[in-house]
């Protein structure tokens, strides 16, 4: 009789554990409970190619944490002979491959799966405010052009996000004014946007983004701009 009670307790515990795991997958990962409901899963693969010269090698690759609107499901690396570690920083996350000696052509792989998350399952995580941006130094006539361009954008905006959009509108215009054309003559739109935002005291940095497209391979990274808005980093496309 006692053995039967223990058996029933174990079975009940397993059932409760299974139900708890199922609910957690539904609540946190948006995995559906109803049969034949489907959730899209994005598979992102990155390949690093380089030539080693017989010395020790340390390869560092920026990898995603949980991009807005997505949740990291699984990740793995393929690197025969290499040691691999995941380095968690305050604002960044990097994968590092290392080996004592390597020679010739080398190829490393990183693969991750992401699922879209709904507003119900997405959680807000406040981020540590970055340091004040460094002082931006211009030479004339670029200094005057930058001040006038910032002044124009300020007059048409009221928040950090709207200021960023106004600057992008001026920089990406098919017919830029004289100030914008002068500044774009010596730098990319991405770099110009970052410098103008930093001059306004707004933390901004370059980010390399990957546009998710079904069955798309050999895709290049796209330069984007990360702007600290309302206690979090938000991504802006300097072209649009």
Give tens-digit pLDDT for 109-119: 999 998 887 65
Mean pLDDT of 85-103: 84
**Taking phi first (over 0 means left), then psi (-120 to 50 degrees means alpha), and beta for anything else, what does residue 88 get?**
beta
Determine the Cα–Cα distance for residues 172 and 38; give it in Å rounded to an integer: 39
Average pLDDT over every residue of 82-88: 87
Reported as a single tens digit per residue, the pLDDT across 153-212 is: 888 888 888 999 999 988 888 888 888 888 888 888 899 899 899 988 889 888 888 777
Lowest mean pLDDT, pick from 19-28, 58-67, 90-99, 216-225: 19-28
- The answer to whether residues 108 and 51 touch, using CB atoms and an 8 Å cutoff, is no
**Residues 53-81, mean pLDDT to the nearest whole number:** 84
CA distance 194 to 202: 9
Please compute the mean of the pLDDT values over residues 14-37 and round it to a whole number. 72
Quick check: 49 pLDDT over 80?
A: yes
Q: Which residues contact 103 (CB under 8 A, 6 or more apart)?
A: 52, 53, 54
Average pLDDT over residues 30-53: 78
Reply yes or no on whether the pLDDT at 2 is more than 80. Answer: no
Name the pLDDT band for 80 (thresholds 50, 70, 90): confident
- pTM score > 0.95 for this model? no
Sequential DSSP letters for the chain: -HHHHHHHHHHHHHHHHHHHHHHHHHHHH---SSTT-----EEEEEEEEEEEESS-EEEEEE--S--TTEEEEEEEEE-TT-EEEEEE-SS-EEEEEEES--EEEEEEEEEEEEEE--TTT------PPPPPPPPP---TTHHHHHHHHHHHHHHT-SSHHHHHHHHHHHHT-SS--HHHHHHHTSS-HHHHHHHHHHHTT--EEEEEE----TT--SPPPEEEEEEEETTEEEEE-TT-
Q: How far apart are CA 134 and CA 132, in angstroms?
A: 6
Could you tell me which of 59, 58, 35 has the C-alpha nearest to residue 48?
59
> Is the pLDDT confidence value at 225 over 60?
yes
Nearest-CA neighbor of 146 among 157, 135, 156, 138?
A: 138
Find the radius of gyration of the CA atoms of the chain.
24
pLDDT of residue 1: 58
Q: What is the pLDDT of residue 236?
A: 92
Least confident piece of the model among 16-30, 142-156, 220-234: 16-30
Percent of the chain beyond pLDDT 90?
9
pLDDT at 120: 44
pLDDT at 127: 60
Whether the pLDDT of residue 36 is over 80: the answer is no
């Amino acid at each position: 009789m006692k053995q039967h009670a223990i058996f029933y307790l174990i079975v009940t515990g397993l059932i409760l554990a299974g139900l708890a795991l199922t609910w957690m997958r539904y609540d946190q990962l948006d995995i559906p409970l109803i049969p034949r409901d489907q959730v899209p899963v994005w598979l992102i693969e990155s390949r690093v190619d380089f030539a080693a010269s017989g010395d020790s090698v340390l390869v560092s690759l920026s990898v995603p944490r949980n991009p807005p609107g997505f949740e990291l499901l699984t990740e793995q690396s393929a690197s025969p002979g290499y040691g691999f570690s995941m380095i968690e920083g305050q604002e960044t996350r990097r994968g590092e491959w290392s080996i004592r000696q390597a020679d010739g052509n080398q190829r490393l792989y990183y693969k991750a799966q992401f699922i879209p998350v709904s507003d119900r399952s997405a959680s807000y995580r406040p981020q540590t405010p970055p340091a004040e941006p460094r002082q931006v130094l211009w030479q004339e006539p670029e200094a005057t052009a930058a001040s006038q361009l910032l002044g124009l954008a300020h007059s048409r905006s009221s928040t950090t996000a709207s200021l960023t959009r106004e600057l992008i509108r001026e920089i990406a215009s098919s017919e830029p004014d004289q100030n914008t054309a002068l500044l774009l003559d010596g730098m990319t739109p991405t770099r110009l946007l970052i410098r103008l935002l930093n001059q306004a005291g707004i933390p901004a940095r370059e980010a390399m983004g990957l546009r998710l497209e079904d069955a798309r391979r050999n895709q290049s990274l796209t330069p984007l701009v990360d702007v600290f808005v309302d206690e979090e980093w938000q991504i802006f496309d300097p072209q649009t």
